[in-house]
A and B are shown apart, each in its own frame.
Chain A
């Protein structure tokens, strides 16, 4: 079945440093979504990418969908303590109607 892996599993940065998480799927994706889960909370939708090579920005967050539509990345510029949480990518493959979540990257930001 489809597998979606994320690296790193965990990253600890100082506030102001940049952060990147990478998402790799075993199959080609029709789209990819990113979710953020704060400690003790539930996942919250951030963005969806559909087109090959697509790049989207949300303030300090930059999302990219790979040319082959099998990988994606999330880059945070100048992290803040409010960025703490686990970031999940989630993809839909083929004609499936369900999202497969990645393994997640937990981000810790300290002052």
Chain B
């Protein structure tokens, strides 16, 4: 199994600012993913964070809005840029290990 530490756990931000979420895995993993989850909804994949190459973004998500870094096999960051109230959500990082997804505890973001 994998233990994933994600921070911050929650934040309240002003419109127009940016927030960077950090995700640390306790073992080396090839693939990490960033999801968004609205209250009471399912998980929507934002992007796949690839080590050594640019992230792969899903339809509706762009690098300028959600830049991702993946400097090594245990760490990734997601930045939510130029935030608006519509960005208020829970953001989850995850890593795949032996075909199973393990999740961080999530970042609850509120944008005022």
Contacts and interface: CB of A to CB of B under 8 A. Distances in A.
A103 B101 contact: no
A103 B45 CA distance: 13
Interface residues of B, number: 18
Contact of B42 (A31, A33, A48, A88): A88
A42 B92 contact: yes
Interface string A24-41: 000000010101000001
A101 B99 contact: no
B50 to A, nearest CB: 10
B29 to A, nearest CB: 13
Contact of B45 (A45, A98, A102): A98
13 contacts: A42-B92, A43-B101, A45-B100, A45-B101, A45-B102, A48-B99, A90-B101, A97-B31, A97-B48, A98-B45, A101-B42, A104-B41, A104-B42
Interface of B: 31, 33, 40-43, 45, 48, 59, 92, 99-106
Interface of A: 1, 31, 33, 35, 41-45, 48, 88, 90, 97-104, 106
For the complex of A and B, list the 9 residue pairs with the smallest distance between their C-beta atoms, beginning with the closest.
Answer: A42-B103, A101-B43, A45-B100, A101-B42, A104-B42, A103-B42, A42-B106, A43-B103, A42-B105
